Chain A
Amino acid sequence: MECRHLDDLYELYLLGALGVSERSEIHEHLRADCPYCTERLRQAALTVYFLALPDRKVRVPQPLKAQVLRRLIKK
């Protein structure tokens, strides 16, 4: 597949920021396991991960942890 014209779009695709036609084009390449697009998306995902995930952590109260784990173990 010829994909270089998509080079500027991978981060925007992962963010859901593209219009329908550009989004659909990358979608088709991803569905077809296009190796170029998969590799580019992996690089783009690093950028999106860095931008979205904050440095800070929130303390998780012990009762909340217990509730969540109990629910998970039940399932």
Chain B
Amino acid sequence: MHEDLFARAEAGDEPALDEIFDRLAPRLLALSARFGSTPADDEQILGDLFYGLLKESRRFRRHGGSATAWLAFAVRTGRIEKRRAAAHLPRAWPPRQNPLRISLAWLPRPSDIARIDERRDLLNKVLRHLPKPQMQVLEMAVFDGLTESEIAEKLKQPLGMVAAELRAAFRFLRHRMSAILGTWNAGI
């Protein structure tokens, strides 16, 4: 998405805001629904997100970070914290340790996000190669927002085994994604 659009929206340009909304809102609602929101929550969710986006856009543009990525992390974090609070679990991050608050230098660049969206079919095929136990713990971490020790407790498995499955799953994905996206950097 063109960075200029955000600068215009920040300055109160309504057509720019309208365009940003049309491009991003449909996927954000799909993401939010994946984490348990209902249509009754949509107005609040979108309002808060776009308000946050405009407030933070100067910050992530300074680092060359992707607005779509910022929004995706903000939606997931918000929904996961809500779900954890409802389940009487401690916060996933103490407020001052939320990675989105500490720094935005780690946000992916818009070109990398665009490449993921272009190659999603191929990436989905990679995902299907994960062994079942790895996929199970991965989904519990990504979608249920559980920590390694909470997953171990829930599955009645040793923490070491769950941690090993999760780390193996991410090693596999990291390696395959780097190859598919062409982001492999042997120097780092």
The reply to whether A45 and B73 contact each other, CB–CB distance below 8 Å, is yes
Q: How far is the CB of B98 from chain A (nearest CB, A)?
A: 9
- The listed residue (A14, A51, A53, A69) touching B138 by CB distance below 8 A is A51
Instruction: Mark B173-188 against chain A: 1 for CB-CB distance below 8 A, else 0.
Output: 1100110010101001
The reply to whether A69 and B99 contact each other, CB–CB distance below 8 Å, is no
The reply to whether A42 and B171 contact each other, CB–CB distance below 8 Å, is no
The reply to whether B170 and A47 contact each other, CB–CB distance below 8 Å, is yes
CA distance A12 to B145 in the complex (A): 10
Interface residues of B, dominant DSSP: helix
The reply to whether B170 and A53 contact each other, CB–CB distance below 8 Å, is no
Which residue, of A11, A40, A59, has the highest number of chain B Cβ atoms within 10 A? A11
B7 contacts partner chain A, Cβ-Cβ < 8 Å: no
Can you list 29 pairs linking A and B with CB atoms under 8 Å apart? A12-B141, A12-B166, A12-B167, A15-B141, A17-B141, A17-B148, A18-B148, A19-B148, A23-B97, A24-B97, A30-B103, A31-B103, A39-B188, A42-B106, A42-B108, A42-B112, A43-B183, A45-B73, A49-B72, A51-B127, A51-B142, A52-B142, A53-B31, A58-B33, A60-B25, A60-B26, A64-B46, A68-B46, A72-B50
Closest 3 CB pairs of A and B: A16-B92, A57-B26, A41-B106
Query: Which residues of B approach A to under 8 Å, CB–CB?
Result: 12, 14, 17-18, 21-22, 25-27, 29-31, 33-34, 42-43, 46-47, 50-51, 54, 69, 72-73, 76-77, 80, 92-93, 97, 99, 102-103, 105-109, 112-113, 116, 120, 123-124, 127, 138, 141-143, 145-149, 151, 166-167, 170-171, 173-174, 177-178, 181, 183, 185, 188
